[in-house]
Amino acid sequence: MQRDEPASGCLYLVGTPIGHLGDLSPRAKAVLAGATVIACEDTRHSGQLLSTLQAKGRKLSFHQHNTRTRLPQLLQALSDGDSVAVISDAGLPGISDPGEELAAQARCAGFEVICVPGPCAATTALVSSGLPSGRFCFEGFLPVKGKERRQRLEQIATEPRTTVLYEAPHRLLPLLQSLAEHCGSERPLQVARELTKRHEQQVGPTIAAALDHFQSLRPQGEFTLVLGGCPEQAPSEPDDQELLARLQQRIGEGASPSDAARQLAIETGISRRRLYSLLHQDPSE
Ligand code: SAM
């Protein structure tokens, strides 16, 4: 038999729609309607949803800028016997949204932590991409610039599993360009736009195709990217020595090192960055 929910002293991470309101589950509705405290990423944003459900619980804002002050208050509410529900603006709390730290601290303090599962852009995009979903990794938002971004891109480029990324519309093109540079432009990619909404769309099947599309149509809406994993090196793939010889031949014919790497990248599907770095490797390595 199922337990009565929401229970006193229990923390509920509740999934809410990422677009389509029909995706709010009956269980999520019941927990939100009955919780005595509801922590919302944005109380105004969630206000309408909660009033439709006639949720009477005390609403508290809970976001990245007030986590430090809210965490002890929410733990105190649990200890006072409240049932506490956490929701983000959309999707699953704790996935690139507030929730992770509260879940960790609540669990550490001995409270029950329960997820009421619901939509998540990452898994929704993954399963509809047609790319391998048996093993995958989630990268969320990459750092916007600097060494940390470069390192993450380098790791993603050699990652054999499918990778899921989030990105804001105004940064989609720079991300596609970085992915092309690090992974080669023929790497499989599906860009999921406006999932579960009226203008839901998938753009792919490669980084080059997505770049082409969004260079002519300004990215608008919400985007989740699903990138195919780095293929195992095919046995017929030329080794570094051969690639270097082909690069040097082009340079001998007048191409700049960067053009030589670009041309060979197009020809072989190997990333331009990797080819370019061959030109700067110590021959004794
Ligand atoms: N917690 C959320 C979840 O479970 O999906 C993610 C929150 S994160 C702050 C917001 C990002 O998720 C957006 O910038 C976008 O990359 C992705 N996203 C959210 N809704 C989406 C949708 N309907 N279609 C495509 N991507 C979406």
Q: Is 180 in the pocket of ligand 1 (CB under 6 A)?
A: no
Q: Is 196 in the pocket of ligand 1 (CB under 6 A)?
A: yes
> Omega of the bond prior to 169 within 30 degrees of 0, cis?
no
Q: Is 184 in the pocket of ligand 1 (CB under 6 A)?
A: no
Q: What is the 3-state secondary structure (H, E, C) of the chain?
A: CCCCCCCCCEEEEECECCCCHHHCCHHHHHHHHHCCEEEECCHHHHHHHHHHCCCCCEEEECCCCCHHHHHHHHHHHHHCCCCEEEECCCECCCCCCCCHHHHHHHHHCCCEEEEECCCCHHHHHHHHHCCCCCCEEEEECCCCCHHHHHHHHHHHHHCCCEEEEEECHHHHHHHHHHHHHHHCCCCEEEEEECCCCCCCEEECCEHHHHHHHHHHCCCCCCEEEEECCCCCCCCCCCCHHHHHHHHHHHHHCCCCHHHHHHHHHHHHCCCHHHHHHHCCCCCCC
Q: Is 139 in the pocket of ligand 1 (CB under 6 A)?
A: no
| Domain 122-227 is found in CATH 1.10.10.10 | no
State how far the alpha carbon of 139 is from the alpha carbons of 95, 178, 221, 225, 285, in Å: 10, 15, 20, 10, 32
pLDDT at 92: 98
Give yes or no for residue 262 having a pLDDT over 90: no
Mean pLDDT of the chain: 94
Q: Is 142 in the pocket of ligand 1 (CB under 6 A)?
A: no
The percent of residues above 90 in pLDDT, for the chain, comes to: 84
Going from N- to C-terminal start, the domains of the chain cover: 10-119, 122-227, 240-278
The atom number, within ligand 1, closest to the CA of 95 reads 1
The atom number, within ligand 1, closest to the CA of 125 reads 25
Probe ligand 1: pick from 20, 40, 64, 96, max atoms within 8 Å of CB? Answer: 96
Q: Which CATH architecture has domain 10-119?
A: 3-Layer(aba) Sandwich (3.40)
Q: Is 226 in the pocket of ligand 1 (CB under 6 A)?
A: no
Taking the C-alpha atoms of residue 27 and residue 6, their distance in angstroms, rounded to an integer, is 10
CA 172 to ligand 1 centroid distance, Å:
13
Question: Which of 125, 139, 91, 124 minimizes the C-alpha distance to 204?
Answer: 125
Probe ligand 1: pick from 167, 222, 225, 227, max atoms within 8 Å of CB? Answer: 222
pLDDT at 272: 87
Q: Are 17 and 88 in contact (CB under 8 A)?
A: no
Q: What is the pLDDT of residues 208-219, one digit of tens each?
A: 999 999 999 999
Q: What is the pLDDT of residues 149-197, one digit of tens each?
A: 999 999 999 999 999 999 999 999 999 999 999 999 999 999 999 999 9
> What is the token pair recorded at 30?
């019941």
Probe ligand 1: pick from 21, 175, 224, 225, max atoms within 8 Å of CB? Answer: 224
Q: Is 210 in the pocket of ligand 1 (CB under 6 A)?
A: no
Question: Which of 184, 196, 187 minimizes the C-alpha distance to 163?
Answer: 187
State how far the alpha carbon of 195 is from the alpha carbons of 106, 179, 217, 218, in Å: 32, 22, 18, 18
CA 213 to ligand 1 centroid distance, Å:
21
Give yes or no for residue 33 having a pLDDT over 70: yes
The atom number, within ligand 1, closest to the CA of 168 reads 14
Is pTM beyond 0.85? Reply is no
